[in-house]
């Protein structure tokens, strides 16, 4: 299966899941490398009204950190699934970290590129960079560790 065919399969597999509901679209999905993104919609934004009635001005609308983490974590997860070594049948995220550097606003395109930085027998470590494609600014740097699962004896 080609990387673009795998991306199309990944897009179809997301239907009804969090990444599908967030409108994430994969452009490239291959062993060790994933590229995708989303267009910022209202569902991706942090609330404008906070508990206690604190209201942010409408122009303060920015992407919720959870939307950014979901994009990056899904990129790394799909990449991990495409990069499983012989004997591994699945994986689970055991640690993740994200540094947020900037944001995106309603209607802007957000991209994510994830790369495998360690591919071992029992773990994989992935780095992802999330960018605002309109401004070119890096929005977040993300790293996660995936525990590779083998069949039980």
Tally of domains in the chain:
1
In this predicted model, what pLDDT tens digit does every residue of 77-110 receive, in sequence order?
999 999 999 999 999 999 999 999 999 998 999 9
CATH number of the domain encompassing residue 89: 3.10.129.10
Whether residue 2 is predicted with pLDDT greater than 80 in this model: the reply is yes
CA–CA gap between residue 57 and residue 99 (Å, rounded): 25
Rounded-to-10 torsion of CA 100, 115, 77, 75: 60
- Of 147 and 55, the structure prediction assigns the larger pLDDT to 147
Q: Could you tell me if 23 and 41 are in contact, meaning their C-beta atoms sit under 8 angstroms apart?
A: yes
pLDDT tens digits along 38-47: 999 989 988 8
Structure tokens at 54: 């604190």
Confidence of residue 61 (pLDDT cuts 50, 70, 90): confident
* For residues 144-153, average pLDDT: 92
* pTM for the structure as a whole: 0.92
Contact yes or no for 92/149 (Cβ under 8 A): yes
Q: Exposed (0-12), middle (13-18) or buried (19+): which is 37, by Cβ within 10 Å?
A: buried
Domain hosting 87: range is 3-149
Percent of the chain whose predicted confidence (pLDDT) is above 70: 97
């Amino acid at each position: 299966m080609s990387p673009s065919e795998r991306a199309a399969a990944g897009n179809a597999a997301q239907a009804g899941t969090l990444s599908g509901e967030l409108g994430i679209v994969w452009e490239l999905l291959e062993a060790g490398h994933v590229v995708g993104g989303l267009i910022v919609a209202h569902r991706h934004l942090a609330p404008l009204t906070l508990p206690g009635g604190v209201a942010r001005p409408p122009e303060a609308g920015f992407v919720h950190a959870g939307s950014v983490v979901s994009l990056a974590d899904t990129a790394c997860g799909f990449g991990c699934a495409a990069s499983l070594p012989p004997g591994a049948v699945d994986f689970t995220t055991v640690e993740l970290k994200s540094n947020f550097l900037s944001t995106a606003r309603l209607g802007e395109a957000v991209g994510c590129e994830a790369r495998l930085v360690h591919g071992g027998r029992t773990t994989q470590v992935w780095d992802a960079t999330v960018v605002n494609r309109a401004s070119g600014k890096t929005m977040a740097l993300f790293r996660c560790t995936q525990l590779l699962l083998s069949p039980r004896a």
